[in-house]
Every structure is written in structure tokens, then in C-alpha cells.
């Protein structure tokens, strides 16, 4: 008998996130995912009248592939995946993390080639632009350890946040979506942070369970050359399996001109990947009421209630500011009082203070209101 939590999550992914219709082709990428959940997702896709296709992958296997990867090999891998992605109407990407640092000893040049020759070509250029898609992590002891809680406790948290009523969240975020699209100047103030930029003319996008599970953000992008000031990200982060804390950027006319962290050499190596990596491709406001603490998993951390993320690298086509890069690194600043507090200003109007929205039309996104529903 299948776990009822698996069934609820599969229903969310098939019927809400991807809105699968009869006859559609669904590509399921399962990286270190328990076969029983993948099978439940296949069952749900068949029940919806869809045609599922599955990639079963392992990070340990991927590590071995990348350690000796040649350009010819990576190009062949990309061609194979490109063919399948072009046939897909919808994509569901599920990624487990038995060891979140599994790829940490893959040489930087190999990771850069993987991102450029496979990820950018298959996912950025095809999947994101041409399919219905949703991506999610899978709860593992490794993730529980990073979150600092028991495996059982983490699983309970995971299924609670991943199967919440995202339809209700979608209704509550509409006033924020409208406000972002009507705003020109943004200012973010927190300890170590005083940042200004424009978002005029850049579309805003709602994140209410249609692209990520868990979800809970509204995002746009800054006008590419408008960013000035400093930002200090007060949450830990992982990129390419490498851990960073105390990331700090200083901007001049949109460009990151100074970057430091607990691993500044790796940080700057990533930012030097290409010309666009030192410019910002996304600005987002997070408000998931169940997610309060960082756990070094960006699909969760970027949704933290009372947070923003400000992302060096590639801009999404739906909120495009002209920036292209093989990098897209979501870095998070939490503004709740226990993290030092902070303010978010739109056109000289305070819209959020210490992580709570202060405008009446936005208060429906505060944790007490979202949880009360």
C-alpha cells in the first residue's frame, strides 16, 4: 500500500503544478528518489491520461561521469537529453541528496562545462521556456542533518509544506504581484545591507506551486545597470557542492565589483564564469509561512517567510532584464528580527518591516494570515 503522503504530493504535482491533460507527454527526472514515489507519480500520470517518460539518475554516478568528462561525451549526453526534452509537454524534476557535497570534488572546469553544455542547453533554453515544469527536492537524512532536525521530523515538515493549499496562497499574493509591477525604485536595508535598484518595466511573476514545490515568492529582476550599494546575505548557501557563509557583494551600476564570503576564491571563480555572472538576474520576495529557518537547500531557503533573494546570473525569460549567464545562484537575506531585522521600500513607501508586510492589502501574506487559512 502506498504512503498517503506520497499520493497527496503526486496529486499536487500532476494536477496542480503541471495541470496534466490527457495525451500530454510528461518527462520525470528522478535523481536519487525512492522508486516507490516515482512509481506513484507514474501511476498518477497514467490516471490523468498522460504518457510518462522517466530518467533515473544518481549524483554518485553523475560525479563519476563528470570527473572524466570530455567535450564529446558531454555533447552526446546533451543531445540525448535535448531530444527527450523537446518531446515533453511537462517536466517534473525530483532531486534527492544522500550527500549534498557529492559533487564538491568535481573540478571547477568540469562543472562549468556541465552547466554550459548540458544544463543551459537542455534546461535553460528548452525546458524553462517550452514546457510546463516543476522541480522539488526529496527529504533525506542529509537534508535533515543540514536543517538540524531528526529525519522523521524533517519528513513531517517536508510533506506539510509541500502539500499545503497553494491555491489559497495564489489568491493572497495577487496584491503584491500588482504592486511589484507598478514599482520603479526598490531599497533594501538590513545590517550590512543598503541596496537600491529599479524594477521599472520588468514583469513580475507569481510563485504559488506551479514551478517549485515548496513555493511562496513573487519575483522580477532589476534593471540590469541600476543596482548600487551593498548586500550582506545572512544565510548559508551551497553552490556546486561548495558551502559559503557571510556572502557580501558591492555593486556599481549593476555590476558586482567586490565579492567576499567564507570561500571567496570559489565565489569569485563562479562570478567570473562569464560576463553576466556579475550582474543580477532575479529579485524575489519570499513568504512561505512554514519555512522559517535556512537549511542550505535553495528550493526551501528562497521561500523563507520574511526573506528576499537577489540572484547573480541568468534572468528568466518571463522577467527578462537582458542578462544571460550559465550561472543562476539564489542567495538569501532574511529580514525577520531574529536575523537582524530590516526594511523593504518601494518608491519611498515602506512595504515590509522586520519580515512582516505593513500595507493592509499585503498583510494576507504574513505567516499568521496564511497559516490561519
pLDDT tens readout for residues 73-132: 999 999 999 999 999 999 999 999 888 889 989 998 999 899 899 999 999 899 998 999
Query: What CA–CA distance (Å, rounded) separates 188 from 306?
Result: 12
Q: Does residue 318 carry a pLDDT above 70? A: yes
**CA quadruple 197, 201, 202, 203: dihedral positive or negative?**
positive
Q: Which residues contact 1 (CB under 8 A, 6 or more apart)?
A: none
Mean pLDDT of 135-159: 91
Are the beta carbons of 236 and 204 closer than 8 angstroms? Answer: no
Confidence band, pLDDT 50/70/90 cuts, at residue 297: confident
Query: What CA–CA distance (Å, rounded) separates 55 from 281?
Result: 29
Q: Hey, what's the cell of 255? A: 555590476
| 67 SS3 class | helix
The pTM assigned to this predicted structure is 0.82
Residue 176 to residues 115, 129, 132, 182, Cα–Cα distance (Å): 33, 24, 24, 10
Strand partners, 197: 186
User: Can you spell out the DSSP letters for 77-121?
Assistant: HHHHHHHHHHH-SEEEEEE--SSTTTTTTS-HHHHHHHIIIIIII
Q: Does residue 372 carry a pLDDT above 70? A: no
The H or E element that residue 176 is part of is helix 174-182
Confidence band, pLDDT 50/70/90 cuts, at residue 365: very high
Domains of the chain and CATH, by start: 4-162 (3.40.1830.10), 166-372 (no CATH)
Quote the strand ranges of the chain, DSSP E: 25-31, 51-57, 90-95, 132-137, 185-190, 193-198, 205-207, 212-213, 217-220, 228-233, 237-239, 242-244, 247-252, 255-260, 280-286, 307-312, 332-334, 343-346, 349-353, 356-357
Q: Does residue 264 carry a pLDDT above 80? A: yes
Q: Does residue 2 carry a pLDDT above 80? A: no
- pLDDT, residue 27, reads 98
Query: What CA–CA distance (Å, rounded) separates 308 from 302?
Result: 7
Q: Hey, what's the cell of 318? A: 518571463
pLDDT tens readout for residues 179-219: 999 999 999 999 999 999 999 999 999 999 999 999 999 99
Give 204's DSSP letter.
P
Confidence band, pLDDT 50/70/90 cuts, at residue 151: very high
Amino acid at each position: 500500500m502506498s504512503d498517503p503522503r506520497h499520493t497527496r504530493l503526486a496529486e499536487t504535482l500532476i494536477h496542480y503544478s503541471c495541470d496534466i491533460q490527457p495525451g500530454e507527454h510528461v518527462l520525470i527526472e528522478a535523481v536519487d528518489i525512492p522508486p516507490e514515489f516515482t512509481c506513484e507519480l507514474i501511476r498518477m500520470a497514467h490516471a490523468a491520461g498522460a504518457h510518462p517518460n522517466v530518467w533515473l539518475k544518481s549524483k554518485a554516478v553523475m560525479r563519476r561521469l563528470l570527473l572524466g568528462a570530455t567535450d564529446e561525451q558531454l555533447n552526446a549526453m546533451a543531445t540525448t537529453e535535448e531530444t527527450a526534452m523537446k518531446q515533453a509537454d511537462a517536466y517534473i524534476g525530483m532531486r534527492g541528496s544522500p550527500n549534498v557535497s557529492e559533487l564538491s570534488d568535481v573540478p571547477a572546469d568540469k562543472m562549468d562545462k556541465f552547466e554550459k553544455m548540458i544544463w543551459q542547453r537542455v534546461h535553460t533554453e528548452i525546458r524553462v521556456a517550452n514546457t510546463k515544469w516543476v522541480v522539488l527536492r526529496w527529504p533525506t537524512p542529509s537534508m535533515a542533518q543540514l536543517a538540524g532536525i531528526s529525519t522523521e521530523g524533517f519528513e513531517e515538515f517536508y510533506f506539510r509544506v509541500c502539500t499545503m493549499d497553494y491555491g489559497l496562497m495564489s489568491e493572497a499574493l495577487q496584491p503584491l504581484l500588482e504592486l511589484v509591477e507598478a514599482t520603479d525604485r526598490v531599497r533594501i536595508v538590513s545590517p550590512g545591507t543598503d541596496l537600491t535598484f529599479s524594477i521599472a518595466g520588468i514583469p513580475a511573476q507569481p510563485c504559488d506551486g506551479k514551478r517549485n514545490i515548496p513555493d511562496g515568492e513573487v519575483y522580477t529582476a532589476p534593471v540590469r545597470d541600476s543596482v548600487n550599494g551593498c548586500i550582506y546575505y545572512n544565510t548559508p548557501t551551497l553552490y556546486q557542492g561548495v558551502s559559503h557563509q557571510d556572502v557580501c557583494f558591492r555593486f556599481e551600476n549593476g555590476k558586482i565589483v567586490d565579492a567576499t564570503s567564507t570561500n571567496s576564491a570559489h565565489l569569485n571563480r563562479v562570478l567570473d564564469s562569464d560576463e553576466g555572472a556579475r550582474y543580477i538576474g532575479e529579485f524575489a520576495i519570499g513568504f512561505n509561512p512554514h519555512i522559517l529557518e535556512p537549511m542550505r537547500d535553495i528550493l526551501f531557503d528562497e521561500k523563507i517567510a520574511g526573506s528576499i533573494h537577489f540572484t547573480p546570473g541568468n534572468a528568466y525569460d518571463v522577467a527578462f532584464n537582458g542578462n544571460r549567464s550559465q550561472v543562476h545562484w539564489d542567495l538569501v537575506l532574511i529580514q525577520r528580527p531574529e536575523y537582524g531585522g530590516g526594511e523593504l521600500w518601494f518608491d519611498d513607501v515602506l512595504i515590509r518591516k522586520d519580515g512582516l508586510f505593513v500595507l493592509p492589502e499585503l498583510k494576507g501574506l504574513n505567516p499568521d494570515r496564511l497559516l490561519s487559512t
